[in-house]
Amino acid sequence: MKHIKGIRTRFHKLPYILAAAAALATSLAVAGPAGASGWGTHSWTVQVGSESWDQAIQGMAFLPSDITVNAGDTVNWEANGAEIHTVTFLAKGQSLKPFDPFDPKHLGPVGTDSYDGTSYYNSGLMSNVDVPGFKVVESYSLTFPKEGDFTYYCLVHGTAMKGTVHVQEEGSEYPYTQRDYDRSSYEQERFILRDGHRLTDSLADDATDHLVMAGGDDGVAMVMRFVQPTVTVHVGDKVVFSNPGMDAPHTVTFGTEPANIFAPAGDPTHFSGGNLSSGIIPANAGKASAFEVTFTKAGTFKYICALHDYMGMVGEVTVED
């Protein structure tokens, strides 16, 4: 079926994921070792996410994803996109679980401002804008007193978005300066945007008046738009809203948002107006990644993604006799 073809587009993006890693390594290699003095403590900045000017494309990366600091240094993570992310260090032996929007330990800060190397630490939700329904922060800082390699994740996007802080002995020479990291991060941001535009074009190739792509992501970029958001059909027609991504969830919500946006509401088999919501449309879940609505009355029906409407993820269905 047509919407299955759309779901398969994510597999075509693997070369871009590999290219992203290569681009980052190349940009740092060109910068070369900085030879900066390691005496005294330093503060470092990592960008959390990235985005296009209109928020339609969101990046799934910490920039830089790997950073080398000395014991005693502080890392500052700064929200760089409207999409929510977290900076989360798992406890020793703890496995990464799917994001739970009802778990206070996922939503809010956990831990002190000095990382002990073994416990669970979480920034809480991070975004550079106010996100309806959630408390978010724009920055998060941790001091690293112990040597070691410490991997962290975004709970919202799982293994697709992870980073590592490499902590070397106090007084060691730094391999790169903040300027080097900023330059490589800028190149990575440009790569993510190009990938997001390619992904949008790929989704548009599959979209029709009867098939709307409910966003999309490929492990590098997320498209926070309905692709072919405005469609025209006839009474009795069915419109399929497909989430062809690898990770990011979305909703299709007509009328008033339900109290629980994560659960379905209404009858999509006979929709003539009023309130209707898909609940979460998961990515990479076969038939569960599609929401089908049959329109039984003429009119114009506006809809949103209840998770991402604040970024402009909205649409409209016009139904003619």
Model pTM score: 0.87
Domains of the chain, earliest start first: 33-175 (2.60.40.420), 196-320 (2.60.40.420)
Q: What pLDDT is recorded for position 307?
A: 95
Residue stretches of the chain with pLDDT short of 50: 1-19, 21-27, 29-34
Query: Pick from 31, 21, 25: which is nearest to 174 by CA?
Result: 31
The DSSP symbol for 191 reads H
The rounded distance, in Å, linking the Cα atoms of 60 and 50 is: 7
Q: What pLDDT is recorded for position 38?
A: 61
Contact 318, 232 (CB under 8 A): yes
Q: What pLDDT is recorded for position 31?
A: 40
The rounded distance, in Å, linking the Cα atoms of 184 and 84 is: 23
CB contact set of 299 (below 8 Å; sequence gap of 6+): 272, 273, 318, 319
| Count of CA atoms in the C-beta half-sphere (13 A) of 104 | 2
Helix (H) or strand (E) holding 276: strand 276-277
Query: Pick from 277, 205, 199, 197: which is nearest to 241 by CA?
Result: 277
Q: What is the pLDDT of residues 114-145, one digit of tens each?
A: 999 999 999 999 999 999 989 999 999 999 99
CB atoms within 10 A of CB 34: 15
Contact 298, 320 (CB under 8 A): yes
Q: What pLDDT is recorded for position 40?
A: 82
Q: What is the pLDDT of residues 232-266, one digit of tens each?
A: 999 999 999 999 999 899 999 999 999 999 999 99
- Pairing assessment for the beta strands 238-242 and 211-217 based on DSSP bridges: parallel
- Pairing assessment for the beta strands 221-227 and 299-304 based on DSSP bridges: unpaired
Q: What pLDDT is recorded for position 36?
A: 59
The rounded distance, in Å, linking the Cα atoms of 308 and 248 is: 11
The rounded distance, in Å, linking the Cα atoms of 241 and 227 is: 10
Contact 305, 253 (CB under 8 A): yes
The counts of H helices and E strands in the chain are 4, 22
